[in-house]
Amino acid sequence: MNTALEARPPSRDRRTKFHSKMQRVLVAVDLSGWSKATAIYAAGIARRFDAAVTLIHAFDPEGITKIAGDRVYGSLDDARRDAEERLSGLVEEILRFYPKCDMEFRIGAPAEQIQTAALLLKADLVVIAGHHPASPLRFLAADQAQEISRNLSCPVLVYNGSGTAADAARKPQPMDNSAQSAAS
């Protein structure tokens, strides 16, 4: 008989010990339409492990001047304030069904800011938003994941989702006291 295999705990016990260590999920969002679906997905993962969720957006002043998007700003301050308000609004939406959610708003290069936050917050998982398969931005998510994962000891998950962001938004159920007490 193989005593090494016999001494090993059952796989269910090993999974429980590993997963019980997950305490924080860092969710990098670009505030596009896919950000909400990504945040909902990440909150679902966090809920399974009773982990905290931190939504992070890195406002890149250099990037805003390159890609104006669908909004026009009179100044970078207006753009920064708008991005911070949109991140706050997204956190409020997630808080409706998962109460352990907060936010980090950072200024600088996104990959660098996300790496720094992941290290400081001791994130156990980093989730980044992918883009719709028809979007030309879908290739950026893979590049960002590679850049973000450098120097991190935790995994980086690129959420590409299925369906639309609106479909994902309909899936979670708001948490109320009866749902929490039933789960206890």
Q: What is the pLDDT of residues 71-129, one digit of tens each?
A: 555 678 888 999 999 999 999 999 999 999 999 999 998 889 999 999 999 999 999 87
What residues contact residue 64 under an 8 Å CB cut-off, 6+ apart?
73, 76, 79
Domains of the chain: 25-108+122-183 (3.40.50.620)
pLDDT of 19 strictly over 50: no
Mean confidence (pLDDT) of the chain = 75
Q: Which amino acid is at 178?
A: S
Write down the pLDDT at residue 64.
59
